[in-house]
A and B are shown apart, each in its own frame.
Chain A
């Protein structure tokens, strides 16, 4: 591992951290635009550095990957810097959508659509509902109409330093670790493994037989498997009716199990207990949400008046009641004892 690359990565991380620090703190557009450009340049520099570290040359990343990751990170930055929480939530929807696109590039179609439906469609809408329920009236002093605690960040310098340390750590781990990973299985082996998943799907097998060889008898091999695999190609062996000559029919790629089927099979076959646990977690969350939502907060008269901007009604009475006897019992009781 070249130390020079690590230094470059650290310098780029520092630039990114400074830009982020500038973006977090409230400021005018004249500060924000250069900082945003600097942050973007830092991210692209980090990607180029990955290429240098792992391939020995500055290979450009794939075009779609670049587009969607830049969208994801730019809207992530906007999400943590925007002064209005509703806009933050909407920018997070953009992060979710662009990472769904990244999932598509990673050939995880099911997860991409599940992400859009569950995250962007359900979870984020819940966030929006709560934001609307807890609508803040803006501070009159702020011209943007945002609340004071949304405008002024908490400890931006310390957070930028923590972020820089974390990013430098993670990037050095990527440079060092990814090169040492075991070589992945070849595309050929992956094809065979994907076809082999069909052995566990009898209904799908019957469907394929009905489509490919409806009036022939299919020959299964001695292990009860339907597919014959040769060089990553799959075929089935059939005996057409009215003859006893065996014939091989090659299966096209359209009969290969799709991503949804493979994920479903993995989920059921490899992780059944985790699936049950996920169900229990969801049930408990539902119970918890119902119990929390049903609890009524007893607002006393003071809280009601305070929320309405009125002075506390019972404050003085309480003070007199509390201070009267206790204040009297101390010194006056002692002095009373001395005089008698």
Chain B
């Protein structure tokens, strides 16, 4: 097994900036998708995209500082994403059974005023 952490391909601020920019663009895509899509399941998928962007930023920072805490944190992100997927999808199935539609606007009566 090759220990890649110590192999030191060049990874300075510039490389970190590139990864952070990718992560930022992915996060913004997730945000825009969450705002524009009207299908409840796709809205949840867009939150997963934002999780993904955060994970890339964490691991890039961990690589920059030679610190493994970034990777450990991504394990917790995965945990939360899995728990969220299980609960959210269970709720979506319940909602779908009531109204026979996945449109988020079908439930706009739940908001105030």
Contact = CB atoms under 8 A, between A and B. Distances in A.
Contacts of B72: 263, 266-267, 270-271, 274
Nearest to A88: B42
B2 to A, nearest CB: 7
Q: Give the size range of B's interface with the partner.
A: 35 or more
Interface string A128-154: 001101101000000000010110111
Contact of B49 (A95, A149, A155): A95
Given A24-B36, A154-B37, A76 B19 contact: no
Given A46-B25, A76-B29, A266-B72, A106 B5 contact: no
Interface in B38-97: 38-39, 41-42, 44-46, 48-49, 52, 55-56, 59-60, 62-66, 68-72, 74-76, 78-87, 89-94, 96-97
Q: Classify the secondary structure of A's interface with B.
A: helix
Contacts of A174: 17, 20-21, 24
Contacts of A131: 41
Given A95-B52, A292-B87, A307-B100, A111 B74 contact: yes
Contacts of B14: 50-51, 54-55, 59
Contacts of B28: 163, 166-167, 170
Given A108-B71, A178-B13, A281-B79, A61 B18 contact: yes
B76 to A, nearest CB: 6
Contact of A102 (B6, B19, B74): B19
Q: Classify the secondary structure of B's interface with A.
A: helix
Q: Give the size range of A's interface with the partner.
A: 35 or more
Given A73-B25, A254-B2, A295-B94, 11 more contacts: A61-B15, A80-B36, A111-B59, A147-B101, A163-B29, A166-B31, A189-B66, A193-B66, A266-B68, A285-B84, A288-B90
Interface of A: 20, 24, 43, 46-47, 50-51, 53-55, 59, 61-62, 65, 69, 72-73, 76-77, 79-80, 85, 88-89, 92, 95-96, 99, 102-103, 106-111, 114-115, 118-119, 122-123, 126-127, 130-131, 133-134, 136, 147, 149-150, 152-156, 158-160, 162-163, 166-167, 170-171, 174-175, 178-179, 181, 184-185, 187, 189-191, 193-194, 232, 253-254, 256-259, 262-263, 266-267, 270-271, 274, 278, 281-282, 284-286, 288-289, 292-293, 295, 297, 303, 307
Interface of B: 1-8, 11-22, 24-33, 35-39, 41-42, 44-46, 48-49, 52, 55-56, 59-60, 62-66, 68-72, 74-76, 78-87, 89-94, 96-98, 100-105
